[in-house]
Amino acid sequence: MAGDMPETFEDMVREILRLIDESGDYWKKAAFYSDPEVGAILDELYQRWEANDRQGMPLDYASEEEVCFLYRKATSISDEVVEMKKREFVNKSMAKDREDVKGKRKRRGFFSLFG
């Protein structure tokens, strides 16, 4: 499926699950799930799923358009996007540590080892 759209709706769903949910790469998952557009769609899918007594899985309640969008997002997460997410996390963590130092609160954790 390198670069080609899967032939069926079910193939796209399987590929999304393989690339994201079954992936051991937590940064890739973070990049996917932190995308605001993905989040908006997933919020809607979870509402539909809840309204149907949690039958099946949330993706079962997606339209073809929604699955195509999620598929494109899942397949577009490159190593560069993953690295950007890692940098964002580190930058936010370092900013929080700086705020804590200014506020005279001492934090324990990874970043406290360096400052």
- Distance set, CA 4 to CA 1, 7, 31, 51, 70 (Å): 5, 9, 22, 34, 15
Same domain, yes or no, for 60 and 84? no
Same domain, yes or no, for 73 and 86? no
Same domain, yes or no, for 11 and 26? yes
Residue type, 34: S
Indicate whether 1 belongs to any domain.
Answer: no
Q: Where are the alpha helices (DSSP H) in 17-114?
A: 26-33, 36-51, 64-75, 79-102
Q: In this predicted model, what pLDDT tens digit does every residue of 22-73 receive, in sequence order?
A: 999 888 998 999 999 999 999 999 999 999 999 999 999 999 999 999 999 9
Q: What is the pTM of this model?
A: 0.72
**64 is written with which tokens?**
């073809």
Domain that holds residue 99: 78-115
Number of domains in the chain: 2
